């Protein structure tokens, strides 16, 4: 999810968070964040992130976007799992992380689709929902759900990305088992070190504001950093932008 907030990172330890041995790590190079309409990537692109309802791009490392902790707009979900709309994204409802088994079952269906389609990895979006829930969601419950979802993804051979959430400690990330991170606007919010200290070069960073020159000059910015339009539209569409460091 395109970020609306936050926060200050805890000092973290790189050694705690090596990728799981049985999943493929992110390659070096250029990542293209394609959560809008899919399109053929440029020749220098090595990683493509797309929604779980689409197909992976042949010949590159493909990450499957999964809205794990909130509903997709218009999605039909058991009403017993729904809390209030996300204040930042009112067309998405927060999901009750106290109901771990039901949330994992919901995501299992999406993980199966990602794996069958041929994706290499997943990013579990809205892990940070508890920070916007006004106390409705509990951090411990949320991280327990994330760990169960990560186990389920690893069982299918999928690497798992931490999505945003710079508040996590090294111990929490290691316990969950995240293999890499996807960070939105870490330069904008001065949070990039929270991800690179923890995941090294296993970080995809996406910025939506600023200039490429200032973003690339940030000493903490991840190696795979791009500047994209906030709506993530395809080339040829009004407003399209895609540049990388």
d(CA 168, CA 180): 13
Q: Is the Cβ–Cβ distance between 161 and 114 less than 8 Å?
A: no
Q: Summarize the confidence of residues 68-89 as an average pLDDT.
A: 93
Mind listing the pLDDT tens digit for each residue in 128-137? 999 999 999 9
Give the Cβ contact number of residue 35 at 10 Å: 18
Mean pLDDT score of the chain: 91
Q: Is 49 helix (H, G, I), strand (E, B) or coil?
A: strand
Helix (H) or strand (E) holding 142: helix 139-155
| Res 242 pLDDT > 50 | yes
The tally of CA atoms less than 13 A away on the side-chain side of residue 116 is: 9
Q: Is the Cβ–Cβ distance between 230 and 191 less than 8 Å?
A: no
Prediction pTM value: 0.91
């Amino acid at each position: 999810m395109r970020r609306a907030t936050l926060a200050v990172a805890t000092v973290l330890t790189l050694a705690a968070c090596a990728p799981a041995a049985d999943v493929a790590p992110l390659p070096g190079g250029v990542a293209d964040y394609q959560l809008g309409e899919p399109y053929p990537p440029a020749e220098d692109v090595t990683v493509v992130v797309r929604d779980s309802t689409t197909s992976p791009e042949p010949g590159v490392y493909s990450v499957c976007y999964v809205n794990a902790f909130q509903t997709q707009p218009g999605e039909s979900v058991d009403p017993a799992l729904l809390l209030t709309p996300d204040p930042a994204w009112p067309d998405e409802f927060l999901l009750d992380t106290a109901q771990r088994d039901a949330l994992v079952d919901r995501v299992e269906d999406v993980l199966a689709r990602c794996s069958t389609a041929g994706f290499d990895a997943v990013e579990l979006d809205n892990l940070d929902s508890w920070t916007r829930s006004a106390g409705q969601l509990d951090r411990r419950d949320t991280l327990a759900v994330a760990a169960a979802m990560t186990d389920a993804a690893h069982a299918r051979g999928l690497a798992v990305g931490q999505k945003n959430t710079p508040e996590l400690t090294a111990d929490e990330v290691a316990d969950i088992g995240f293999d890499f991170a996807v960070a939105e606007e870490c330069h904008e919010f001065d949070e990039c070190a929270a991800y690179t200290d923890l995941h090294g070069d296993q970080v995809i960073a996406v910025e939506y504001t600023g200039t490429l020159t200032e973003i690339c000059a940030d000493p903490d910015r991840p190696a795979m950093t791009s500047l994209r339009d906030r709506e993530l539209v395809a080339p040829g569409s009004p407003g399209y932008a895609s540049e990388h460091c």
